[in-house]
């Protein structure tokens, strides 16, 4: 059989009821994929090398569907028809008539490669083969296949029936019509496909690394508690903070993905694993599945947020200083909360840099640009400085990270507390580290998304869609870039690099081009 024998594929040309789909691997992901394929009308063969695993998976699918029937989201007849289309298979020969086989086995190269080569020899020329790998190179998986052009990545997200995103991943040998056929199929299955080139982590697992890495780095610096970091990022619109999300995913799983991306990128420091997470894994604190991780079983932690100081009876004069999208949003929130303020386009430079933020009585409150409160105080000769995190979604903020200069006066603390009370926000007082929480996390997510596009992994629209649908981010990296502008992101990353001298904070050429108006 040769690569040129067929240019059409049964899975794309024939009705679902006439095109059999096989799923190898009856774990949570495999069962979910089987359910989605059967729901679209395909007869499905579900196979697993573990005795009874496929049958158990079908029983679990039935249990989940019963819940949908009870809620009125599916009729009993629809449930029964769907289940009738899923058949456990016990040996590979039963898959020979499949139009598409999706492997969902252990996330290791050699077992997957061995299985894919066996499928390649078994299946007819007009059948497609897909891998649900989350991080292994499709190019590497195809090596050794007689017809590598029909292999494509089809990366689903858990829980498969609910999550809309499917990353369609092309390796070096994947034929364009194969990727197009799988994209069309994903749409028919009610999914939203996003095309990616096969590089470490693809789109979501690559761009998402900073969401975990920045908080892990902050924990290593003892900048705050897991609860403080989670609370700050939920205030930016994320459904879960990074620490509680890692507890949910499992630290062993999250750590392995980070290691995989790090090793696949030949030790690129942007993806370096964390000693904090290594310690959790070594200590068996794997997260919710064992009842302990960053949090205990009740997910509670005391002392997540503490007021800076008691507020004043009346709010001191408030001014907005500088200009920019973040400041405009802050001004709208001040107006919404009924806080009177004046506006100054700029004030005298401090240490060669202008600051943007709030002037509250005698307290300077710059939006973080990577300078610490101590640095602002030292270079200005003025003690009352409080750096505030980026309020990227002021109407969602319940608590916002701040860092105080060492010699902040009692009056300054009281003035800040009065403002925060007027804004309806709780100050999360962190160690005085550059970039705080939201700013450095969002800046790094934008930077990683920009690098993925710069390197041809995906396009900007695909990056935004993947991050919103795959991991439920409130915005995609390029939406944040459009909202914030390139200048504050570049400035923050430059200051982080100055502080840490790590290539982790090198700036994507695409963001630099945006800064110069050249892209």
Is the model's pLDDT at 350 over the cut of 90? no
Tokens standing for residue 170: 């092309």
In a domain, 222, yes or no: yes
Least Cα distance to 91 among 129, 34, 49 occurs for 49
As given in the structure block, the two tokens for residue 295 are 């949090």
User: Last residue of a domain, which of 429, 463, 496?
Assistant: 429
Asked whether the predicted pLDDT for residue 299 surpasses 60, the reply is no
Asked if residue 159 has a cis previous peptide bond (ω within 30° of 0), the answer is yes
> Is 336 one of the catalytic residues?
no
Residue 33 near residue 132, CB atoms below 8 Å: yes
Tens digit of each residue's pLDDT (9 = 90 or more) over 171-186: 999 999 999 999 999 9
Asked if 253 and 114 sit in the same domain, the reply is: no
Domain holding 27, by residue range, is: 10-198
Give residue 2's pLDDT band: very low, low, confident or very high (50, 70, 90): very low
Residue 485 in domain: no
Domain membership of residue 398 (yes or no) is yes
Which stretches of 72-164 are assigned E, i.e. beta strand? 86-89, 100-103, 128-131, 151-156
Q: Tell whether 71 and 158 lie within a shared domain.
A: yes
Is residue 134 part of the annotated active site? The answer reads: yes
Beta strand 100-103 pairing with 21-24: parallel
Confidence label for 314 from pLDDT (cuts 50, 70 and 90) = confident
Domain co-membership, 349 together with 285: no
Tell me the DSSP string of 169-190. Answer: EE-SS--HHHHHHHHHHHHHTT
* Residue pLDDT, tens place only, 356-405: 999 999 999 999 999 999 999 999 999 999 999 999 999 899 999 999 99
What pairs with residue 350 in β-bridges?
353
Q: Is residue 92 part of a domain?
A: yes
DSSP-derived letter for residue 317 is: P
Question: Is position 441 within any domain?
Answer: no
Residues 26 and 123 reside in one and the same domain: yes
SS3 152: strand
- Which CATH number belongs to the domain containing residue 393 in this structure? 3.30.750
Judge if 191 and 209 occupy the same domain: no
**Residue 494 located in a structural domain:** no
Indicate if 68 and 192 belong to the same structural domain: yes
Which one is catalytic: 103, 167, 214, 448?
Answer: 167
Query: Taking a C-beta distance cutoff of 8 angstroms, is the pair 221, 211 a contact?
Result: no
Average pLDDT over residues 507-511: 96
Q: How far apart are CA 235 and CA 467, in angstroms?
A: 18
Asked if residue 281 and residue 155 are part of one domain, the reply reads no
Strand pairing report for 165-170 and 151-156: antiparallel
What is the spatial distance between Cα 383 and Cα 362, in angstroms, rounded to a whole number?
10
Q: Lowest-confidence range among 152-166, 339-353, 485-499?
A: 339-353
Residue 260: active-site member: no
Is 467 a member of any domain? Answer: no
Average pLDDT score, the chain: 93
> Would you tell me how many other CB atoms lie within 10 Å of the CB of residue 410?
9
| Reported confidence tier of residue 347, pLDDT bands at 50, 70, 90 | confident
Find the CATH number of the domain harbouring 130. Answer: 3.40.50.720
Residues 31 and 133 in one domain: yes
Active-site option among 87, 131, 132, 134: 134
Number of H helices, E strands in the chain: 21, 15
What is the predicted pLDDT for the residue at 344?
86
Same domain, 45 and 150: yes
SS3 81: helix
Task: Specify whether 134 is located in the same domain as 277.
Answer: no
The answer as to whether 5 is a domain residue is: no
409-419 confidence digits (pLDDT tens): 999 999 999 99
Of 155, 173, 198, the residue at which a domain comes to its end is 198
Q: Using alpha carbons only, how large is the chain's radius of gyration in Å?
A: 26
Give yes or no for residue 247 having a pLDDT over 60: yes
| Together in a domain, 216 and 133 | no
Residue 39 has pLDDT above 70, yes or no: yes
324 burial class (0-12, 13-18, 19+ CB within 10 angstroms)?
Answer: middle
How far from chain centre, in Å, is Cα 343? 36
Q: Give the CATH number, domain containing residue 286.
A: 1.10.1040.50
Q: Give per-residue pLDDT as tens, 404-461.
A: 999 999 999 999 999 999 999 999 999 999 999 999 999 999 999 999 999 999 999 9
Give yes or no: 143 in active site.
Answer: no
Domain endpoint, select from 158, 180, 198: 198
145 and 266 share a domain? no
Residue 298 pLDDT greater than 70, yes or no: no
The domain total for the chain is 3
Of residues 42, 135, 155, 447, which has the active-site annotation? Answer: 155
Q: Of the residues 87, 131, 198, 205, which is catalytic?
A: 205
């Amino acid at each position: 059989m040769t690569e040129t024998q067929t240019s059409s594929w049964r899975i794309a040309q024939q009705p679902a009821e006439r095109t059999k789909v096989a799923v190898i691997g009856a774990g949570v992901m495999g069962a979910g994929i089987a359910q989605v394929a059967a729901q679209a009308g395909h007869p499905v063969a579900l196979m697993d090398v573990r005795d009874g695993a496929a049958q158990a998976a079908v029983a679990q699918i039935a249990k989940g569907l019963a819940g949908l029937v009870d809620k009125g989201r599916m009729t009993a007849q629809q449930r029964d028809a769907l289940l009738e289309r899923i058949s456990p298979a016990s040996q590979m020969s039963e898959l020979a008539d499949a139009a598409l086989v999706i492997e969902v086995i252990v996330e290791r190269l050699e077992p997957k490669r061995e299985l894919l080569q066996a499928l390649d020899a078994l299946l007819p020329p007009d059948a497609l083969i897909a891998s649900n790998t989350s991080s292994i190179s499709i190019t590497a998986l195809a090596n050794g296949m007689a017809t590598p052009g029909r292999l494509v990545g089809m990366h689903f997200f858990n829980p498969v029936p609910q999550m809309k995103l499917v990353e369609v991943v092309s390796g070096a040998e994947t034929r364009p019509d194969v990727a197009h056929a799988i994209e069309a199929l994903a749409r028919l299955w009610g999914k939203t496909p996003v095309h990616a080139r096969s590089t470490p982590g693809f789109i979501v697992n690559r761009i998402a690394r900073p969401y975990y890495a920045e908080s892990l780095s902050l924990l290593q610096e003892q900048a705050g508690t897991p609860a403080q970091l989670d609370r700050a990022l939920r205030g930016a619109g994320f459904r879960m903070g990074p620490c509680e999300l890692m507890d949910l995913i499992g630290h062993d799983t999250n750590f392995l993905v980070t290691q995989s991306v790090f090793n696949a990128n030949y030790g690129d420091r942007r993806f370096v694993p964390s000693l904090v997470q290594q310690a959790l894994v070594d200590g068996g604190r794997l997260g919710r599945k064992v009842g302990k991780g960053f949090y205990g079983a009740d997910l509670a932690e005391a002392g997540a947020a503490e007021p800076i100081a008691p507020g004043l009876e009346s709010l001191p004069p408030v001014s907005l200083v500088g200009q920019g999208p973040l400041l405009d949003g802050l001004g709208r929130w001040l107006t919404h909360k009924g806080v009177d303020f004046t506006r100054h386009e700029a004030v005298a430079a401090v240490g060669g840099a202008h600051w943007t933020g709030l002037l509250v009585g005698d307290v300077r409150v710059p939006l973080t640009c990577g300078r610490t409160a101590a640095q602002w105080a030292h270079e200005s000769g003025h003690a009352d400085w409080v750096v505030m995190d980026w309020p990227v979604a002021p109407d969602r903020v319940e608590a916002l990270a701040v860092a105080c200069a060492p010699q902040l006066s009692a009056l300054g603390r009281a003035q800040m507390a009065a403002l925060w009370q007027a804004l309806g926000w709780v100050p999360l007082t962190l160690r005085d580290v550059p970039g705080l929480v939201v700013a450095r996390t969002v800046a790094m997510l934008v930077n990683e998304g920009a690098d993925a596009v710069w390197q041809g992994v995906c396009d900007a629209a695909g990056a935004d869609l993947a991050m919103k649908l795959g991991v439920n981010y409130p915005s995609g990296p390029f939406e944040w870039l459009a909202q914030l502008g390139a200048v504050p992101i570049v400035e923050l990353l430059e200051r982080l690099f100055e502080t840490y001298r790590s290539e982790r904070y090198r700036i994507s050429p695409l963001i630099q081009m945006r800064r110069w108006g050249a892209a």
